[in-house]
């Protein structure tokens, strides 16, 4: 049975990737699970310099979800490349860096450093973090800025460029197309949904930053819808993210047209989630007589709508794999 997929020219042994910010820099999990089980790992968001992040509390549980405002705390790209990457590359899994910036130039500079660092398979460009005052969602919430950041990163590196889109927009297709036009090789959909939790006793926000980003099963139907809309809007592959906690959840994204998926919040509940989802994927493929996971991609039968992988010109099926 084949579980391997290729996204943006990156070969993944299976379609499961650890989502940025929910898996540290990867090495923190070395004693917890075999990292080579994973198709890939996306690092916590990295700027040029180290950052302290947002004031505490940074995480609040909500029904079927998690509201966070970490504020992109991190060691900075140089420390990652020097101290973490040499350890991470010992594992047989694709390493992606989540690239952040306060300015367009900073995104490009982080990308340049990654380009010169062997072992990095690709760049996920974080233009969608809701928990920072500059950059983040400010870039991902404006299609012209999305284009500008992606084009700058594209110009700074030969590595695959994968912008991570925000769900906090009206029409994600507009942003997907802007990123594709700017030279993106794939898209990650989606980051967290902007939320607010209030402590009714103190009448203050429950997070130190104020608002936060909602993740977990609560956002899955929104995420599947947005990943599906993005996949229909572009020719480049889409990586689906949002609330995946089972093989069935992952399959929803694949059927919607995603070539791979990321798992975030569910990893906090059970770091064994990857093996559990992989076993479930295998069982599903076996049950459906499908020896290749790629045959599931984009097979959504949506009334009156062409399948995401159908040729937009002719409407003929196929093309995803
Ligand atoms: C605690 C936490 C930290 C996160 N940090 C980042 C980050 O640094 N960069 C980023 O692009 N996304 C970050 N995210 C968003 C996740 O990568 C993912 O897009 C989102 O949580 C939805 O997936 P999930 O429902 O499986 O968690 C973070 C999410 C959480 C919960």
Output 93 or 129, whichever has higher pLDDT. 93
- Residue 283: pLDDT band (50, 70, 90) is very high
C-beta of 66 in contact with ligand 1 (< 6 A): yes
pLDDT in tens, 180-224: 999 999 999 999 999 999 999 999 999 999 999 999 999 999 999
**Burial bucket for residue 305 (CB in 10 Å: 0-12, 13-18, 19+):** exposed
The Cα–Cα gap between 166 and 61 comes to: 21
The Cα–Cα gap between 25 and 90 comes to: 14
What pLDDT is recorded for position 132?
81
pLDDT exceeds cutoff 90 at 98? yes
Q: What is the best residue among 264, 269, 274 to mutate for testing ligand 1's pocket, by most ligand atoms within 8 Å of CB?
A: 264
**CA of residue 264 to ligand 1 center, whole Å:** 6
Known catalytic residue at 129 = yes
What pLDDT is recorded for position 230?
98
The Cα–Cα gap between 60 and 122 comes to: 31
Phi, psi of 115, deg, nearest 5: -60, -35
pLDDT exceeds cutoff 70 at 317? no
- Residue 315: pLDDT band (50, 70, 90) is low
Which residue(s) pair with 171 in the sheet? Answer: none
The candidate with the shortest Cα–Cα distance to 140, out of 95, 87, 104, is: 104
C-beta of 217 in contact with ligand 1 (< 6 A): no
Residue nearest to atom 5 of ligand 1 (CA): 21
C-beta of 219 in contact with ligand 1 (< 6 A): yes
**CA of residue 186 to ligand 1 center, whole Å:** 18
Rounded average pLDDT over 242-254 = 98
Contacts with 79 (C-beta within 8 Å, 6 or more apart), sequence order: 50
What pLDDT is recorded for position 3?
98
Q: What is the best residue among 16, 19, 68, 188 to mutate for testing ligand 1's pocket, by most ligand atoms within 8 Å of CB?
A: 19
Residue owning tokens 């984009």: 298
Q: Which of 100, 114, 129, 258 is catalytic?
A: 129
What pLDDT is recorded for position 312?
54
Kindly give the number of the ligand 1 atom that is closest to the alpha carbon of 124: 11
Output 129 or 291, whichever has higher pLDDT. 291
Residue nearest to atom 2 of ligand 1 (CA): 21
Mean pLDDT value across the chain: 95
The Cα–Cα gap between 243 and 152 comes to: 31
């Amino acid at each position: 049975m084949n579980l391997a997929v290729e996204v943006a020219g990156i070969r993944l042994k299976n379609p499961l990737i650890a989502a940025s910010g929910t898996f540290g820099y990867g090495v923190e999990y070395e004693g917890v699970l075999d990292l080579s089980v994973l198709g890939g790992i996306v690092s916590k968001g990295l700027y040029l310099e180290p950052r302290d992040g947002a004031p505490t509390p940074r995480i609040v549980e909500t029904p079927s979800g998690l509201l966070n405002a970490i504020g992109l705390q991190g060691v900075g790209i140089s420390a990652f490349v020097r101290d973490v990457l040499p350890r991470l590359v010992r594992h047989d899994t694709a390493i992606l860096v989540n690239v952040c910036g306060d300015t367009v130039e900073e995104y490009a500079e982080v990308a340049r450093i990654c380009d010169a660092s062997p072992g990095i398979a690709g760049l996920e460009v974080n233009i969608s973090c809701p928990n920072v005052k500059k950059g983040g969602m400010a870039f991902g919430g404006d299609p012209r800025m999305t284009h500008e950041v992606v084009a700058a990163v594209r110009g700074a590196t030969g590595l695959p460029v994968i912008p991570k889109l925000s769900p906090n927009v009206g029409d994600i297709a507009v942003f997907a197309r802007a990123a594709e036009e700017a030279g993106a090789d794939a898209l990650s959909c989606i980051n967290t949904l902007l939320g607010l939790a209030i402590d009714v006793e103190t009448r203050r926000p429950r997070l130190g930053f104020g608002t936060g980003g909602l993740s977990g099963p609560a956002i899955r139907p929104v995420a599947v819808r947005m990943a599906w809309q993005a996949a229909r809007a572009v020719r480049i592959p889409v990586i689906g993210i949002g609330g995946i906690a089972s093989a069935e959840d992952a399959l929803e994204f694949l059927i919607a047209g995603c070539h791979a998926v990321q798992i975030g919040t569910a990893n906090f509940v059970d770091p064994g989630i990857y093996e559990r989802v992989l076993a479930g994927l295998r069982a599903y493929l076996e049950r459906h007589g499908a020896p290749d996971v790629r045959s599931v991609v984009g097979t959504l039968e949506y009334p009156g709508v062409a399948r995401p992988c159908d040729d937009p010109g002719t409407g003929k099926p196929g093309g995803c794999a």
